[in-house]
Amino acid sequence: MRVHKLTFAALAVAAGLSLTACQNDNAGTGQSDPSSPSSVSSSGGGSDSGSSDQGGAKNSAGTSSTTNSGGTGTAAGTGSNANAKVGKCRTDELEITAKDNTIDGDPDGTVVVTLTNHSGRDCTVSGYAGVDLKTSAGSLSAKRTGQQASSAILKNGKSTYFPVNYPFNKSGGSGVRITGLVVTPPDETKSVTLNWPGAATLPVTDGSGSPVKVGPVGSAGQGG
């Protein structure tokens, strides 16, 4: 009996040890499975954090680089567009109007011609427009004032101006009747004919030169 008891006890101890080992193995396996996700999670978290940090550093460098490069690219693009790719303003893309802008006390009359860009894009405009007055004595071309002209980009929807100066008819006679104003934008060949908004007549001249003067686009006399 004692031998059987010892044998059973030994078997019980062995079984207990075996069970404990199994439980330890299971426990280890059980921890290793969640620990994987946990590790992934942590690694993911670390990766996120590291991504955030490194990504942050990358992003910082990347963003900085991208932003700077993007900004620079944009600026360069704009500069490039501004300097090279912006086309000139065409007659058909401009709304051209004229109004009297004579100020009391001025020795001469002034008509301001407005060029408004409605092309849907920016365009460049510079120099002198062609200006002719249609009169009862024929066409009369305005003479340039000689003022220096500057080049400018006319933004879509924006306007620029130039003045047309002419002498008042103080002769007491009927003078030369003005019937229209013909405007040709700088560097264009297509013209627009407008109603003349200034005084009705010009003094008769001896033909030695045009009494009508035109200033460059963007010069004084704007708007009125």
User: What single string gives the DSSP state of each residue in 2-41?
Assistant: HHHHHHHHHHHHHHHHHHHHHHHHHHHHHHHHHHHHHHHH
Averaged pLDDT score across all residues of the chain:
72
| Inter-residue contact 128 to 143 (CB < 8 Å) | no
- Give the whole-angstrom CA distance, residue 147 versus residue 151: 13
Q: What is the pLDDT of residue 84?
A: 54
10 Å CB burial of residue 198 (0-12, 13-18, 19+) is: buried
- Give the model confidence (pLDDT) of 80-92 as tens digits: 344 458 999 999 9
Cα torsion for 183, 185, 188, 193, to the nearest 10°? -20
With tokens 């944009």, the residue in question is: 74
- Overall pTM > 0.75: no
**Is the predicted pLDDT of residue 104 greater than 50, yes or no?**
yes
Do the Cβ atoms of 159 and 89 come closer than 8 Å?
Answer: no
Instruction: State pLDDT tens for residues 153-196.
Output: 999 999 999 999 999 998 888 899 999 999 999 999 999 999 99
Position with higher pLDDT, 117 vs 41? 117
Q: Note the pLDDT tens digit of each residue in 9-52.
A: 444 444 444 444 444 444 443 333 333 333 333 333 333 333 33
> What's the CA gap between 152 and 133, in Å, rounded?
26
- Residue 102: pLDDT band with limits 50, 70, 90: very high
Name the more confident of 124 and 31. Answer: 124
- Measuring CA to CA, which residue among 161, 90, 80 is closest to residue 121? 90
